[in-house]
Amino acid sequence: MADKNDGSNDEVSVVPGTDEFQKMLFKLNKPVTQDNLGDLDYNGSRLQPVQDDMYAMPAFVTDDFNLFFIVSQLVEDDWVIAFSTATIENGNEITDLSEPMTTGKGLNELGQKSPADANKLLKYFNTLAEANRGEWRMVERPDSAEN
């Protein structure tokens, strides 16, 4: 469940794997600081700064597909968790990150490669929501390009 991002408190039910889920973004309830970085650890990894007020951390990495958490103020003043894919050279050197994509789009893409890992990530986000660290929001923006 998520609140509509139109000022109403109406909840909408959005199912992972659907086109509507592509519009879902996970919004954090507090800015990321050095003191709370550990609250967002995933699968033994911790967010690493990539530039001022932007952090990244691997979510899923294989030889043919990868997905990285991107945590930043990407939407107005809200801190959000989005996803990006990386260019990895020499086996472990990240040389470039793609433009961030919504949390839902990243989960949908992972679900096409590894449904079990997508479900594990979805549980991670639900745990964050239950701990009142963030919430799902629907963003209304036209997709610039369909992959």
Burial of 3 (0-12, 13-18, 19+ CB in 10 A): middle
Question: How many domains in the chain?
Answer: 1
Domain hosting residue 32, numbered range: 2-138
The pLDDT of 3-7, averaged and rounded, is 49
Quote the pTM value: 0.83
| Chain centroid offset of residue 76 CA | 16
The pLDDT confidence band at residue 140, using thresholds 50, 70 and 90, is confident
- The reply to whether 25 falls in a domain is yes
**In a domain? residue 113:** yes
CA 26 remoteness from chain centre: 6
- Render pLDDT for 48-76 as a digit per residue (tens, 0 to 9): 998 888 999 999 999 899 999 999 997 77
How does pLDDT run across 89-129, given as a tens digit for each residue? 887 788 889 999 999 999 999 999 999 999 999 999 999 99
